[in-house]
Structure 1
Amino acid sequence: MLNPLHLRTFIVVLRTGSFAEAARSLGYTGSAVSQQISSLERSVKMSLFERDAHGIRPTPSAGFLAERAQNVLATLASFEEEVRAMSEGNFGQVRLGSFPTASQQLLPLSLSTFARTHREVGIDLDEGEPDTLIPLLLDRDLDLAIVYHYDLVPQTWPKALKAEPLLHEDLVLLLPPGHRFADSEIVLADLGKETWVATGERTSGARSLRRACAAAGFEPNVHCRSDDYDVIRRFVSSGLGVALVPALGHVPGTIATATIADLPVRRHVVALHAPSTVNPAVEGSVAALKAASVEAAGRLPGVRIA
């Protein structure tokens, strides 16, 4: 195995024309330079310099080796620079997981902010719900995941992960056109006889809805389900029922709404990653997400900084 240090010394000897001059240039002793060149000659099994009382002369082999060594050392220098940039979080890849409404409302700004300060870091995005993303994070298939949890549905994150709070979201009551409660403030019990549109029965949003309604004295009568908030809005707009959606999934001004004064539920958005992450760029990603969260809280009704 060739020693890059010996190759660098060899190049300086060729440039200066003597072991003594190379030693002065490198800050070594003449003996150290001579020993390094001898070690290099043993490694390549060729004589690189002819030595006599008047000095040294490079052999033809030295010229061949010098040409190749310059390329090798340039490649090594580039590699060392990339490793240094990676260790500082300025080079490489971040594998990010996110759920759809966070992807729509947080990622455009956060990724553009991150890209301006981390030009050599690429982003791989995987979308899914928390129960899909967390196993990927634990298996190190993701570096960072944006997830959520609802009040009334107990949630503890794995101890191997660090949670960085981002946002709190109010839930918005969506109403069909001409509904009697439009633009009103009501209590949850007022909705006991309504037909509902909700997310999938096993989702934390649906479970939170059932528990909140139970506390208000009724079981929600769900006729339609979808995990796509665009679909839920269309169902409500078509008169198929009322729905509760988190603020990131609401499009203000497109549908009638009402305020539920006693609703005990919010959705909470956090970023999860390993506390001793092996990817230094994660820190910059989290900072960009927090900046995007501040912007979203100023732009979207019902969104607050955690």
Structure 2
Amino acid sequence: MLDPHRLRVFRAVVGSGSVQAAADNLGLTSSAVSQHLGALARETGLVLFQRQGRGITPTQAGRELAARSEEAMSQWGRLDSVVTDLREGRSGRLTVGYFASAGSAWMPDLVKRLALELPGLTVDLVLTEVTSRNLTPDIDIVIDPPDGGGRPGHRHVPLASDPFVAVVPSAHALASARSVGLADLRGETWVSNDVIGSQGHRIVVSACAAAGFTPRFTVQAQEHHSAIQFVAAGVGISVMPRLAARALPSDVTRLRITDPTPVREISALVRESGRPNPAAERLLEMLLELNRHPARRGRTATR
């Protein structure tokens, strides 16, 4: 088994670019850092660095180990934090997975409320769209696949139906309408706001197929913040979840979509650990309350 401390020292050398800089950053001697590097090389059986001038540079294997060890070290850091919480008598730690639009729309206020109610609680928020799925949050806010949600060892709790809307420049010919048929967007230049192949992207493309066309994406923005700015610049239109289109600049308008309306279903997956988790249950209550009263989500009215 690899020594986490040696991995940490190794990553510090790769990150800082030299043994001496890593030693200064870690509060160690350069000799101690070199000893850790040598021990890690023996443990792994890899050549991790090579000489370059008067210094060293990571080999391809070294760069690969540094990149692939990032998540493992993050997980180790979380475990270390759990031990610290237990030692110092803090009431616990809650890990919450989320995707970007739910994170910006829901999580800041909910985490603030949770911190006031449970002041000894540490909340770790993880953007699961860009994190390996071997992470197991206590609560994971997810988009259900079309055939239904669920995950072994988790309780599946539906939260909300989130319809997609059309986001268009305010000067667009359709901007004065309150709604637009999906087929009416057939000839538009489209800006993507999600990764190709993701749940959201598949929902939109499937709805367009049902309306008899395939959207022409000319800009792969792949996230809604950038997509909105492309729309504002007049590059094209974008079809995104209403939750992602809550706050728009003045030169952008959103429209309801009909015939058909693409919709994504949002749920919470609550990890069943076999022991009570009051913090997870309280956050779940808050999420359910929030979505029973949509006006509290802070959404602006559809223009």
Q: Find the counterpart in structure 2 of residue 285 from structure 1.
A: 283
Larger radius of gyration: 1
Q: Find the counterpart in structure 2 of residue 266 from structure 1.
A: 263
Deviation (angstroms), 1:160: 2.1
Q: Deviations over 1:71-98 (max 9, x none)?
A: xxxxxxxxxxx99xx9xxx911111111
Q: Are the counterparts in 2 of residues 192 and 218 from structure 1 also a CA contact under 8 Å?
A: yes
Alignment of 1:75-90 (within 5 A): none
Q: 1:170 to 1:297 in 2, by over 3 A?
A: farther
Deviation (angstroms), 1:133: 6.5
Q: Are the counterparts in 2 of residues 170 and 302 from structure 1 also a CA contact under 8 Å?
A: no
> Which of 180, 184, 193 pairs up with 1:190?
184
Q: 1:143 to 1:278 in 2, by over 3 A?
A: farther
Q: Gaps (5+ residues) in structure 2? A: 1-84
Tell me how far apart the structure 2 counterparts of residues 265 and 213 of structure 1 sit (CA, whole Å). 9
Q: Find the counterpart in structure 2 of residue 125 from structure 1.
A: 125
Q: Find the counterpart in structure 2 of residue 214 from structure 1.
A: 209
RMSD: 2.7
Q: Gaps (5+ residues) in structure 1? A: 1-81
- Over the matched positions of the two proteins, sequence identity in percent amounts to 26
Q: Are the counterparts in 2 of residues 96 and 145 from structure 1 also a CA contact under 8 Å?
A: yes
Q: Are the counterparts in 2 of residues 96 and 123 from structure 1 also a CA contact under 8 Å?
A: yes
Q: Find the counterpart in structure 1 of residue 107 from structure 2.
A: 107
What TM-score do the two structures reach when normalised by structure 1?
A: 0.61
The SS at the match of 1:272 is strand
Q: Are the counterparts in 2 of residues 173 and 258 from structure 1 also a CA contact under 8 Å?
A: yes
Tell me how far apart the structure 2 counterparts of residues 145 and 194 of structure 1 sit (CA, whole Å). 35
Tell me how far apart the structure 2 counterparts of residues 135 and 157 of structure 1 sit (CA, whole Å). 16
Deviation (angstroms), 1:210: 1.2
Tell me how far apart the structure 2 counterparts of residues 294 and 144 of structure 1 sit (CA, whole Å). 19
Deviation (angstroms), 1:240: 1.6
> How many residues end up aligned between the 2 structures?
210
Q: Find the counterpart in structure 1 of residue 164 from structure 2.
A: 171
Q: 1:224 to 1:193 in 2, by over 3 A?
A: same
Deviation (angstroms), 1:134: 4.9
Q: 1:134 to 1:284 in 2, by over 3 A?
A: farther
The SS at the match of 1:181 is coil
Tell me how far apart the structure 1 counterparts of residues 97 and 301 of structure 2 sit (CA, whole Å). 24
Name the aligned partner's letter for residue 284 of structure 2: V
Name the aligned partner's letter for residue 232 of structure 1: A
Q: Are the counterparts in 1 of residues 101 and 243 from structure 2 also a CA contact under 8 Å?
A: yes
The SS at the match of 2:204 is helix
User: Is residue 237 from structure 1 mapped to residue 235 from structure 2 by the alignment?
Assistant: no
Name the aligned partner's letter for residue 163 of structure 1: H
Q: Are the counterparts in 2 of residues 169 and 267 from structure 1 also a CA contact under 8 Å?
A: yes
Name the aligned partner's letter for residue 144 of structure 2: H
Q: Are the counterparts in 2 of residues 166 and 269 from structure 1 also a CA contact under 8 Å?
A: yes
Deviation (angstroms), 1:301: 5.1
Q: 1:289 to 1:186 in 2, by over 3 A?
A: closer
Deviation (angstroms), 1:274: 2.1
What TM-score do the two structures reach when normalised by structure 2?
A: 0.62
Deviation (angstroms), 1:132: 4.5
Tell me how far apart the structure 2 counterparts of residues 257 and 98 of structure 1 sit (CA, whole Å). 24
Deviation (angstroms), 1:276: 4.3
Q: Find the counterpart in structure 1 of residue 272 from structure 2.
A: 275
Q: Are the counterparts in 2 of residues 247 and 301 from structure 1 also a CA contact under 8 Å?
A: no
Tell me how far apart the structure 2 counterparts of residues 134 and 155 of structure 1 sit (CA, whole Å). 18
Q: Are the counterparts in 1 of residues 203 and 264 from structure 2 also a CA contact under 8 Å?
A: no
Structure with the larger RCO, 1 or 2 (CA within 8 Å, 6+ apart): 1
> Which of 129, 140, 144 pairs up with 1:145?
140
The SS at the match of 1:217 is coil
Q: Find the counterpart in structure 2 of residue 49 from structure 1.
A: none
Q: Are the counterparts in 1 of residues 149 and 156 from structure 2 also a CA contact under 8 Å?
A: no
Name the aligned partner's letter for residue 128 of structure 1: T
> Which of 137, 151, 162 pairs up with 1:158?
151
Q: Deviations over 1:155-191 (max 9, x none)?
A: 4322321112222212110012411111313211111
Alignment of 1:31-50 (within 5 A): none
The SS at the match of 1:114 is helix
Deviation (angstroms), 1:295: 5.5
